[in-house]
């Protein structure tokens, strides 16, 4: 089985900026991190208003899968056992054609929203339509509670079931590719070390050095849009 841990770098060719790279969002605007920090978001109406404006202006919903996303979906469609563990919330792996059941979204999805009070869910598009109509901090239509995107904000824990499945996939894989991730955010970053500990071939594809480069069997600094399709072809993983 091939396990692919994907981070923000896999989606930059789709027009979605990364966070920690040289031009990343957190480096350009350190204050932006507050907009996705749970305590700030829940306790400061101004942060929520700014966060909704950020969502409204975000390129995520308009983004389309790029060559790297398509290469992963094509490998799976060819019969290879592939599982994706993604730190991204953009849904581009699924849009590229990878079955949703084969994508573990560690940090949730930015394409839907959830009420922090009653748990009701709805689409981000519907919430943004309300923002465009003049609701700068749209409440839940069911209970009036605070809405947020269905993502794991800073200060929130990952879904334990999703994380447990990601660990199981990592332990079972023969090849583990970490693609477009700085491998700095735990526990996701630790999956690279776990894969190596369990005998998987570890390949890291990232523009910047990561803390796990010394453990890797191969480190690739080429652009992901060309490097990943080539690497997946070279793997020639037999179908099961």
> Cis peptide before 187, with omega less than 30 degrees from 0?
yes
Q: Are strands 82-86 and 2-6 parallel, antiparallel or unpaired?
A: parallel
What's the distance, Cα to Cα, between the start and end of the chain in Å?
Answer: 9
CA nearest neighbour of 154 among 25, 65, 62, 21: 25
What CATH architecture applies to the domain 18-58+110-151?
Answer: 2-Layer Sandwich (3.30)
Residues of the chain with CATH 3.30.1600.10: 18-58+110-151
The alpha carbons of the chain give a radius of gyration, in whole angstroms, of 18
Q: What pTM, to 2 d.p., does this model score? A: 0.88
Taking only the tens of pLDDT, the chain with its 240 residues reads: 999 999 999 999 999 876 555 545 545 566 678 898 999 999 999 999 999 998 888 888 889 999 999 999 999 999 999 999 999 999 999 999 999 999 999 999 999 999 999 999 999 999 999 999 999 999 999 999 999 999 999 999 999 999 999 999 999 999 999 999 999 988 999 999 999 999 999 999 999 999 999 999 999 999 999 999 999 998 754 444
- By three-state DSSP, how is residue 92 classified? helix
**Farthest CA pair distance, the chain:** 54
Catalytic residues: 107
Residues of the chain with CATH 3.40.50.1220: 1-16+66-107+157-240
* CA–CA gap between residue 33 and residue 22 (Å, rounded): 16
The reply to whether CATH 3.40.1190.10 applies to domain 1-16+66-107+157-240 is no
* CA–CA gap between residue 61 and residue 51 (Å, rounded): 15
The pair of three-digit structure tokens given for residue 132, joined into one six-digit string: 């465009």
């Amino acid at each position: 089985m091939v396990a692919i841990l994907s981070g923000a770098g896999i989606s930059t060719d789709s027009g979605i900026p990364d966070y920690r790279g040289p031009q990343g969002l957190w480096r350009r605007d350190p204050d932006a991190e507050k907009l996705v920090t749970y305590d700030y978001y829940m306790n400061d109406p101004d942060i929520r208003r700014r966060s909704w404006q950020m969502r409204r202006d975000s390129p995520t919903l308009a983004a389309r899968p790029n060559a790297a996303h398509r290469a992963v979906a094509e490998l799976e469609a060819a019969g290879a056992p592939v599982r994706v563990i993604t730190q991204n919330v953009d849904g581009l792996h699924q849009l590229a054609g990878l079955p949703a059941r084969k994508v573990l979204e560690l940090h949730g999805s930015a394409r839907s929203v959830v009420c922090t009070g009653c748990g009701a869910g709805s689409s981000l598009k519907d919430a943004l339509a309300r923002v465009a109509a003049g609701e700068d901090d749209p409440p839940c239509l069911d209970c009036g509670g605070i809405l947020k995107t269905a993502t794991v904000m800073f200060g929130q824990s990952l879904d334990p079931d999703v994380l447990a499945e990601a660990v199981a996939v990592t332990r079972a894989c023969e090849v583990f590719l970490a693609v477009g991730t700085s491998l700095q955010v735990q526990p996701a970053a630790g999956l690279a070390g776990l894969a190596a500990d369990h005998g998987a071939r570890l390949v890291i594809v990232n523009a910047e050095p990561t803390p796990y480069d010394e453990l890797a069997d191969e480190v690739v600094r080429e652009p992901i849009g060309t490097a990943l399709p080539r690497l997946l072809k070279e793997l020639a993983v037999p179908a099961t």
